[in-house]
Amino acid sequence: MIGKDIKAVLFDMDGTLTDTEKYYQQAWPKAMAHFGHEMTKEMTLSLRSLGRPFAPLQFKEWFGEDLDYFEVREYRRGLVEELVREHGIPLKPGAKEILTWLRKNGIFTALVTANEYPRAERYLKKIDLFGYFDKIICANMVEKGKPAPDIYAFACKELGLDPSETFAVEDSPNGVTSAYDAGCNVIMVPDLTQPDEELSGKLFKKLDSLVEIKSLFE
């Protein structure tokens, strides 16, 4: 069983451990409307975990060279913070249970998120998950964000492990591609969309819930 060879499980945050990806799906179109542009649902979904330099380039392709991506992103951040204040940061089912189980069984855990460190730390402390991770790896620690493999490769290096010794748990195409190209064994727990045929080919396993990860070690 491959589970016996796995020494660490690497988790994405938004849409994987926390049910917060839906906030971004609401906030991006509102932010673009504020600046006079319309964003489709397909556009918004494609932004899940999309990091630099890819996101700024994508926005310029969609809306023209004059668009100030960083101004729009800052406005979107404010909208997300409002949603967090109003609704909190809900956990995905089984999030705390699987993290507790992994630590109890001596398996390293790491957070690998497109968020920058200050926000990731603040959110994790707010939901009492900060102490569950051996490493917290964020987008601002690498040159290129997801879907480039940099962030997962860096996480494995920080843990002193080969990517083949890890499971990477993701919910989105950009996250799956990042982990797959880094050489991790990718587990997808779908959030807003199911994997298509191409994405399915990158998966070690598709699971319906986080707690099902336990079965891969049995």
CA distance 195 to 214: 22
Please give the residue range of the domain that contains residue 45.
Answer: 21-87
Is 175 in contact with 45 (CB distance < 8 Å)? no
82-125 pLDDT, tens digit per residue, is 999 999 999 999 999 999 999 999 999 999 999 889 999 999 99
1-5, 59-63, 87-91, 188-192: range with lowest mean pLDDT: 1-5
138-192 pLDDT, tens digit per residue, is 988 999 999 999 999 999 999 999 999 999 999 999 999 999 999 999 999 999 9
Q: What is the pTM of this model?
A: 0.94
The total number of structural domains that make up the chain: 2
The CATH code of the domain that includes 95 is 3.40.50.1000
CA distance 109 to 132: 7
Two structure tokens written together for 189: 């727990």
2-6, 20-24, 121-125, 196-200: range with lowest mean pLDDT: 2-6
Query: Which of 38, 72, 87 represents a domain boundary (last residue)?
Result: 87
- If asked whether residues 35 and 104 sit together in one domain, one would say no
- If asked whether residues 74 and 114 sit together in one domain, one would say no
pLDDT for position 218: 79
Query: Which of 68, 87, 106 represents a domain boundary (last residue)?
Result: 87
| Relative orientation angle of helices 150-159 and 173-182, to the nearest 10 degrees | 50
- If asked whether residues 120 and 101 sit together in one domain, one would say yes
Is 145 in contact with 50 (CB distance < 8 Å)? yes
Is 51 in contact with 114 (CB distance < 8 Å)? yes
Mean pLDDT across 38-61: 95
- If asked whether residues 83 and 44 sit together in one domain, one would say yes
- If asked whether residues 62 and 157 sit together in one domain, one would say no
Q: What are phi and psi of 205, to 5 degrees?
A: -160, 145
- If asked whether residues 71 and 100 sit together in one domain, one would say no
Q: What are phi and psi of 157, to 5 degrees?
A: -65, -45
| Relative orientation angle of helices 69-87 and 54-63, to the nearest 10 degrees | 110
Two structure tokens written together for 35: 């600046």
- Concatenated DSSP letters for 54-85? HHHHHHHHHH-TT--HHHHHHHHHHHHHHHHH
- If asked whether residues 96 and 152 sit together in one domain, one would say yes
